[in-house]
Structure 1
């Protein structure tokens, strides 16, 4: 009986934590690069792209399951190459040099985008 109460209390706490999580609160720490900053880099890239041409884009949220080490250099962004096989357009946010860790030296995170609806 006590065990089932503990399990129920733990699950309730986990649900509350997940409910309060958002891209807005997922900021960088000393060990990981936050999805907020990754999305912001994609937004900067798309803002520049939107000034260039006829097509206008909105940035969506990166996959919430992504966890990458902190980047040691400024982030870069570019259109995700079609050769990577993504079915929809996205921006690739790139870290050329991650803070030393045992997992990866560099990383890239695709951030989906969608074309803005044309206004009449």
Structure 2
């Protein structure tokens, strides 16, 4: 009986924690790069691209499962090369040098985009 109560309480706490999480609150820390900053770099890149021509894009959310070490240099972004085989267009946010860690020295995160509907 006590085990059932503990399980129910733990599951309730997990649900509350997950419902309060969002990309808006997923900011960079000393150890990890936040998805908020990754999305913002993709937004900056897309705003520059939108200013160049007739095609207009909206940035979607990066995959919430992504966890990468904090970047030691400014993030940069580019269109994800087609040779990487992604089926939909995306922007690749790139960290050329991650803060020293045992996992990876650099990384890139694809952020999906979609074409804005044409306005009449």
Query: TM-score, with normalisation over the residues of structure 2?
Result: 0.99
Cα-to-partner distance string for 1:44-102 (whole Å, 9 max, x where unaligned): 00000000011000000000000000000000100000000000000000000000000
Find the aligned partners of 1:8 and 1:31 in 2 and give their Cα distance: 32
Return 5+ residue gaps in structure 2 as ranges: none
Return 5+ residue gaps in structure 1 as ranges: none
Q: Which residue of 2 aligns with 1:73?
A: 73
Find the aligned partners of 1:41 and 1:80 in 2 and give their Cα distance: 14
Query: How many aligned positions are there?
Result: 120
